[in-house]
């Protein structure tokens, strides 16, 4: 009798313990779904091209910006086509776009027909070198799955009527206008991006190294 | 002796931590923004008397595409790395000399 009562009591205690512990274990072992944060490094890839131009006439022969270099015969009073056009390659992060232009002879060559999408950045502290101008694209370029071609910064270069047939620099027969695009992330840089671009284009060799 | 070895090791660990933790933070501070730069787009102007030597090659070259360049090397990170390298070397020399000096004194 005592033995039977002992077994029954033990079984009841075991059952009671199980009933108490199982929900507890269930509660304790519950876990949330795994949260994984993937951090990938952002980047900006930018290109600058212009439409192919006939060297003799200075007029476009191409249909879209596809070359890095054009050659022009310098004729006093002539206006030639030149359309430096930035292309933001796909998956570049949101960014502000700047294009710097170095004109060795501002008295001979003048940039004309700046597109309304672009604004000349004011160099308040005179950091830029002589003949260097920086233009800013008026809108932020958002990240995209496709390459984004912006409008050309300007359309023409006018050669002065006073050009006497030779340049007065290192070479009497050759001169060049160089342009380079620069992009900086738009997030958290609204107040500083212009200065950042000015600093970049004020570097002495920015137009010399490819 | 062990105490001095421990101290030397602590200095070394501190310097290494500075090198790998603080210096990347400083470097990050100097070039934190994501930037991109393009290839140079060039317009070559030549005067009329040089017409006979129109650089035909430059026209054909213009169709040769090259990929946009990446970011240039900033001098600041190099300087910071150099500074911490010098600190590391100085600290190691100090700790070794100090340990040696103490060892000699004990002997």
Residue of A62, A71, A170, A185 to mutate, testing the B interface (most B Cβ within 10 Å of its Cβ)? A71
Pairing of strands A174-185, A95-103: antiparallel
Higher-confidence position of A173 and B76? A173
**Strands A154-159 and A85-88: what pairing?**
unpaired
Reduced DSSP (H G I as helix, E B as strand, rest coil) percent helix, strand, coil of chain A, to 5 = 20, 30, 50
Note the pLDDT of residue B18.
Answer: 61
pTM above 0.90, yes or no: no
Residues 13-52 of B with CB under 8 A from A: 33-51
**What does the pLDDT average to over A76-88?**
96
Total count of domains within chain B = 1
Percentage, residues of chain A above pLDDT 70: 92
pLDDT for the residue A73: 94
Q: Which residues on adjacent β-strands are paired with residue A100?
A: A134, A180
For residue range A154-175, list pLDDT tens digits in order. 999 999 999 988 888 878 888 8
Query: Mean of the pLDDT values across residues B64-91?
Result: 69
Does B70 score more than 60 pLDDT?
no
Name the one residue in this structure whose structure tokens are 């003949």.
A131
Cα–Cα dist A89/B105, whole Å = 68
Q: Which of residues 46-85 of B touch A (CB under 8 A)?
A: 46-51, 54-55, 58-59, 61-63, 65-66, 68-69, 72
Question: Does B85 score more than 50 pLDDT?
Answer: yes
DSSP-derived pairing of the beta strands B41-47 and A69-74: parallel
Q: Which of residues 55-114 of A touch B (CB under 8 A)?
A: 55-56, 66-75, 82, 84, 86, 89, 92-93, 95, 109
| Residue-wise pLDDT tens digits, A122-153 | 999 999 999 999 999 999 999 999 999 999 99
Q: Containing domain of residue B89, as a range?
A: 2-106
B46 close to A159: Cβ distance less than 8 angstroms = no
For A85-98, write each residue's pLDDT tens digit: 999 999 999 999 99
How crowded is residue A155: how many other Cβ atoms within 10 Å of its Cβ?
Answer: 17
CB A72 to CB B44 under 8 A?
yes
In this structure, chain B runs to a length of: 107
Q: Do B59 and A43 touch (CB under 8 A)?
A: no
> pLDDT higher for A190 or A140?
A140
Does B96 touch chain A if contact means CB atoms closer than 8 Å?
no
Contact A72, B44 (CB under 8 A): yes
ipTM: 0.74
- The secondary element (H helix, E strand) that includes residue A48 is strand A46-49
Inter-chain CB proximity B42 and A176 less than 8 Å: yes
Convert A116-136 to b/e letters by CB count within 10 Å (16 or more is b).
eebeebebeeeebeeebbbbb
| pLDDT score for B1 | 59
Cα dihedral value A142, A143, A147, A148, nearest 10: 0
């Amino acid at each position: 009798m005592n033995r039977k009562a002992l077994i029954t009591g033990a079984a009841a205690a075991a059952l009671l313990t199980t009933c108490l512990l199982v929900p507890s274990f269930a509660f304790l072992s519950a876990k949330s779904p795994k949260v994984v944060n993937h951090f990938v490094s952002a980047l900006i890839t930018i290109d600058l091209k212009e439409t192919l131009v006939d060297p003799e006439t200075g007029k476009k022969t191409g249909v879209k910006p596809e070359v890095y270099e054009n050659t022009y015969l310098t004729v006093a009073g002539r206006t030639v086509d030149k359309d430096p056009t930035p292309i933001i390659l796909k998956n570049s992060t949101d960014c502000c776009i700047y294009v710097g232009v170095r004109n060795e002879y501002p008295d001979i060559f003048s940039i004309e027909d700046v597109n309304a999408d672009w604004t000349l950045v004011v160099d308040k502290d005179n950091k830029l070198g002589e003949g260097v101008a920086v233009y800013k694209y008026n809108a932020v370029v958002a990240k995209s799955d496709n390459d984004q071609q912006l409008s050309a910064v300007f359309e023409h270069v006018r050669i002065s009527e006073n050009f006497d047939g030779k340049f007065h620099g290192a070479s009497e027969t050759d001169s060049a206008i160089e342009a380079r695009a620069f992009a900086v992330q738009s997030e958290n840089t609204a107040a500083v991006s212009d200065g950042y671009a000015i600093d970049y284009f004020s570097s002495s060799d920015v137009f010399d190294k490819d | 002796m062990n105490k001095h070895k421990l101290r030397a090791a602590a200095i070394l660990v501190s310097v290494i931590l500075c090198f790998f933790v603080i210096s990347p933070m400083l470097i990050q501070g100097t070039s934190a923004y994501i930037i991109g730069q393009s290839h140079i787009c060039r317009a070559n102007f030549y005067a009329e008397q040089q017409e006979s030597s129109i650089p035909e090659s430059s026209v054909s070259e213009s169709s040769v595409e090259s990929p946009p360049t990446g970011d240039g090397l900033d001098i600041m990170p190099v300087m910071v790395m150099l500074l911490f390298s010098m600190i590391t070397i100085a600290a190691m020399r100090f700790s070794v000399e100090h340990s040696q000096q103490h060892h000699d004194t004990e002997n």
